[in-house]
Amino acid sequence: MNKKFTSRHGAVMMEPVIAISFFAIISVFLLRMFASTEKIRSSADEVSKAVIRAEAAMEYMLAGEDTAEDLERSGFGKLSADGREYMVKYYDKDWRETEKVGKYMMTIFTEDEKVGSGKFINYELRVSKVNEFENSGEIYSLSAKKYVSGGA
């Protein structure tokens, strides 16, 4: 009896090697995807906090009588550039109010428009990211109008 033995061990070992290679390649793409989700989450968190701060400030302005005085009491400072006055408030990286230039800046522009016996006050609010003492990108903007009778 002459039996020939053939080796099939090479083919058996190829299957796990191919499977492991496939999962290794897929894992590279999954790791990149998970890394980019942190950046997206951080950006979404930044926008969410900017919207909350902007809407709160706008509601405060629309509810008050003397907007400039109310804003100064709530921590806004007056600045002017190009002959136009505006109010500004700074926030640090954790969205806490700060006196000096921080990571974020909220800017409010107001413009009066006389109408009949009253006036419209136009508000334009912008929340921006600040980088090394210069504006580096608007995160959120909001505008509104308020009518004040008697021109006061």
Q: What is the pLDDT of residue 140?
A: 92
Instruction: With a cut of 90, say whether residue 4 has pLDDT above it.
Output: no
Domain membership of residue 26 (yes or no) is: yes
Domain membership of residue 2 (yes or no) is: no
Question: Rounded mean pLDDT of 7-11?
Answer: 61
Domain membership of residue 32 (yes or no) is: yes
Domain membership of residue 67 (yes or no) is: yes
pTM here is 0.70
Q: How many domains does the chain have?
A: 1
Least confident of 22-31, 70-79, 102-111, 125-134: 125-134
Domain membership of residue 93 (yes or no) is: yes
Domain membership of residue 4 (yes or no) is: no
Question: Rounded mean pLDDT of 129-142?
Answer: 79
Instruction: With a cut of 90, say whether residue 152 has pLDDT above it.
Output: no
| Phi, psi of 8, deg, nearest 5 | -115, 15
Domain membership of residue 130 (yes or no) is: yes
pLDDT band, very low/low/confident/very high, at 135 (cuts 50, 70, 90): low
Which domain covers residue 24, as residue numbers?
10-151
Q: What percent of the chain has pLDDT over 70?
A: 88
Domain membership of residue 88 (yes or no) is: yes
